[in-house]
Structure 1
Amino acid sequence: MDKLILREMHFSARHGVLPAEAENDQPFSATVELELSTARAGASDRIEDAIDYRKVQGVVRDVIGGSRKHLIETLAEQIAGRLLAAFPEVHAVVVEVVKPRPPVDFQFAGVSVKIRREQGGAAR
């Protein structure tokens, strides 16, 4: 299966369980992998035969820029569900949401969640 991958899209939003996370924007990033056939687009060289990655980014932006969520798991699930609904030709999506600087009292390189969802609701 082919993949269309949008790597490390960056956003600023207010998600998290801590009060400070509701008050101040934090950086988030997301990577999405869309599993689909790219053969038609590759042969035709026409955007009409491809998935316009600007629209993919718009879906991700709408979720991350939308209402506050407590968990990055929720963001990932909503992104996956909306991408599968918006692009029925996609067989499955892999979504990774990264919160690089959560406001915690220890140092680490951030936290991320990565999920894979298929058309029809299957997880793998």
Structure 2
Amino acid sequence: MSPGAIEIRGLRVLANVGVPEAERVHAQPLSIDLELTVDLDAAGRSDDVADTVDYGAVAIAVADAVADAPVALLERVASLAADAVLDLDPRTEAVTVTITKLRPPIPRDVEATAVRLHRTRP
């Protein structure tokens, strides 16, 4: 096997995330980046989507998992996203998830805040 990567960049999702309760009441924009470690050899030879992890299905699963419940921390959002990816297709060996809060409510001029989590299949 020669591992490769499937990347999804800038998946936009509205989610109820934040430590103050007010942030969990109103959905806020997040940007999600995913990098999946996957063996791409079979798909590279066959040109058949059945031989790879479907990134459209990954995007839907992650968006659904992240938007479902109000949470306090971006770390929890990243964990939910990683679980959704690894639960979707056993061919994904590892995933790196970056969750970026696009409008963090902090009293300084900050473009965004983010957390990154790397998880491998047990």
Q: Give the TM-score normalised by structure 1.
A: 0.91
Q: Which residue of 1 aligns with 2:88?
A: 86
Q: Which residue of 2 aligns with 1:115?
A: 117
Runs of 5+ consecutive residues of structure 1 not aligned to the other structure = none
Q: Any residues of structure 2 matched to 1:33-52 within 5 Å, and which?
A: 33-52=35-54
| Structure 1 CA distance for aligned equivalents of residues 96 and 115 of structure 2 | 10
| Structure 2 CA distance for aligned equivalents of residues 82 and 100 of structure 1 | 22
| Structure 2 CA distance for aligned equivalents of residues 77 and 12 of structure 1 | 17
Please give the per-residue CA displacement for 1:10-60, whole angstroms capped at 9, x wherever unaligned: 111211111321232211010110101111011101111121111100111
Q: Any residues of structure 2 matched to 1:18-29 within 5 Å, and which?
A: 18-29=20-31
C-alpha displacement of 1:115: 1.0
Q: Which runs of 4+ in 1 moved over 6 A?
A: none
Identity of aligned residues (%): 30
SS in 2 for 1:12: strand
Runs of 5+ consecutive residues of structure 2 not aligned to the other structure = none
C-alpha displacement of 1:82: 2.1
Q: Give the TM-score normalised by structure 2.
A: 0.92
Q: Which residue of 2 aligns with 1:68?
A: 70
Q: Which one of 9, 31, 34 corresponds to residue 11 of structure 2?
A: 9
